Amino acid sequence: MSSEPVWRIITDIAEARDTILRRRSLRDYAVPDHVITRSVDLFGERIMPEEAVRRIISSVRDGGDQALLSWNQKIDGAETTNLLVSPDEMLAALQAIAPELRCALELAATRIRQFHQKQPLGSWIDAAEGGLLGQLVRPLDSAGVYVPGGTAPLPSSLLMSVIPAQVAGVPEIIVCTPPGSGADDIHPTILAAASIAGVEKVYRVGGAQAIAAMAYGSETIPRVATIVGAGNLFVTLAKQQVYGDVGIDGILGPTETMVIADDSADPSLAAADLLAQAEHDELASAILLTPSHELAASVQSEIYRQLDQRARRDIILGAMDEGSGTVITADLAQAFELANEYAAEHLCLLVEDPWSWIGKARNAGGVFLGEHSYEVLGDYIAGPSHVMPTGGSARFASPLNLLNFVKITSLIGLDRRSAVELSEPAQLLAKAESLDAHAAAARLRSR
């Protein structure tokens, strides 16, 4: 990583597609050497993260609580004595945070709940001639929410994941979050957010071991039907490996934002929005698409100016070295073409009359319209969940919503006349697929 800021401005579209617009899978990301080296301490040999996660999951399936307590000590340095956080600890955390922070969390919770209560979701039955057809939409029995902790806790992620599950009607919702080192402490803002959201069960366990516990259960932690929430590489790999035994919200990789801007944009605001996303992670992507050479130069200057004021400067520099920069496009139409190919988690439209361009933005987790709808509001308080598809999965996936927490059951209740009328075409289709027993079962209903 360079010690000096280098915000690239790329004028060749082919070069842009081969560099900052090139999509990578999880396996394409370089694994930091300290991650591999750490495996020696944990397993006595150097192994890749996929294998480390596989072994952690296996140990939790076999060892339950004792395995979880052991991993808490080995990985997080926590001498955990009780996996479950008590109600008194939750209340104490809520009372300990600053009153203004509590008000902000409560406002965010209210707006998130109000937004998701508007999502249309319901069962239906069509009593048409010939019987009944329909769908039953029912909440899942349980959901597990993973919330990153440590020195950079994310209480907003708890609210953004728990509240949609509550609105969907899930009766049992649990939260897993890493313990602090040394003692059994979890950052108070996470426990405060859990208290505000009405979560009753928060467990001190993080990483792949938390995903394993929620997927398979232990003596203390119940098995759940689905697991949601973003985490580090080990959490993501664990969700991949347990999928099928439990539902997941998706494979959530490093955060990404794409800004489309024209000459009307304020370069200082565009730069601020790009830096805000780049500070998440050295693997984060912050990309500006614009047909304006003048704006591109002004944004670059603003990035250099604002960068020295940012506390997470080194992380931002890492993101700038990887998948961030500016691409000069022929016009705004080409910018939207590239944006749809890239399918960003966040797509911010800093253009004149952004509403007129909504139809062009087909692939994005969230579309942010104008300078007053900046992406940071989406991170915290606007209302929609900030758990959004990454890695290009916005081509086919959606932000976390009520559909992540329900299942749909089809209803088929035909009468005898319909059964007789449909028997012959059903037989023909069964015979076309060489399924004789299917055809026989249909034939028996033909008389």
Instruction: Tell me the C-alpha distance between 293 and 411, whole Å.
Output: 58
Query: Are the C-beta atoms of 196 and 94 separated by less than 8 Å?
Result: yes
Over its C-alpha atoms, the chain yields an Rg (Å, rounded) of 25
What pLDDT sits at residue 233?
86
What pLDDT sits at residue 46?
81
Q: Is 346 a catalytic residue?
A: yes
Instruction: Tell me the C-alpha distance between 302 and 351, whole Å.
Output: 18
Q: In 3D, which of 139, 220, 232, 153 has the Cα closest to residue 185?
A: 153
pLDDT per residue, tens digit, the chain (447 aa), is: 446 788 999 999 999 999 999 987 655 655 666 666 667 667 778 888 889 999 999 999 999 999 999 999 988 888 888 999 999 999 999 999 999 999 999 999 999 999 999 998 889 998 876 789 999 999 999 999 999 987 778 999 999 999 999 999 999 999 999 987 655 588 999 999 999 999 999 999 999 999 999 999 999 999 999 999 988 889 999 999 999 999 999 988 889 999 999 999 999 999 999 999 999 888 899 999 999 999 999 999 999 999 999 989 999 998 888 789 999 999 999 999 999 999 999 999 999 999 999 999 999 999 999 999 999 999 999 999 999 999 999 999 999 999 999 999 999 999 998 999 999 999 999 999 999 999 999 999 887
Q: Is 371 a catalytic residue?
A: no
Q: In 3D, which of 105, 382, 332 has the Cα closest to residue 367?
A: 382
The two structure tokens encoding residue 107: 């406002």
Structural domains in the chain plus CATH codes: 9-21+253-396 (3.40.50.1980), 87-248 (3.40.50.1980), 415-443 (no CATH)
pTM of the model: 0.91
How many angstroms from the chain centroid is the CA of residue 268?
A: 28
- H helix runs in 77-220, sequence order: 87-96, 99-117, 155-168, 188-197, 207-216
- Dihedral pair phi/psi, residue 418, rounded to 5°: -65, -40
Instruction: Tell me the C-alpha distance between 196 and 202, whole Å.
Output: 13
What pLDDT sits at residue 1?
46
Active-site annotation holder among 346, 371, 375, 386: 346
The beta strand positions in 178-255, using DSSP E, are 201-204, 226-228, 247-248
Q: In 3D, which of 150, 63, 171, 164 has the Cα closest to residue 115?
A: 164
Instruction: Tell me the C-alpha distance between 183 and 79, whole Å.
Output: 6
The two structure tokens encoding residue 113: 């709940």
Tokens 């966040």 sit at which residue? 346
Sheet holding 9-10, edge to edge: 9-10, 325-328, 285-290, 256-261, 344-350, 364-369
Residue type, 17: R
The two structure tokens encoding residue 420: 């007789």
C-alpha angle 160-163-164 in degrees, rounded to nearest 5? 85
What pLDDT sits at residue 407?
96
Terminal C-alpha separation, the chain: 77
Active-site annotation holder among 89, 256, 345, 371: 345
What pLDDT sits at residue 281?
85
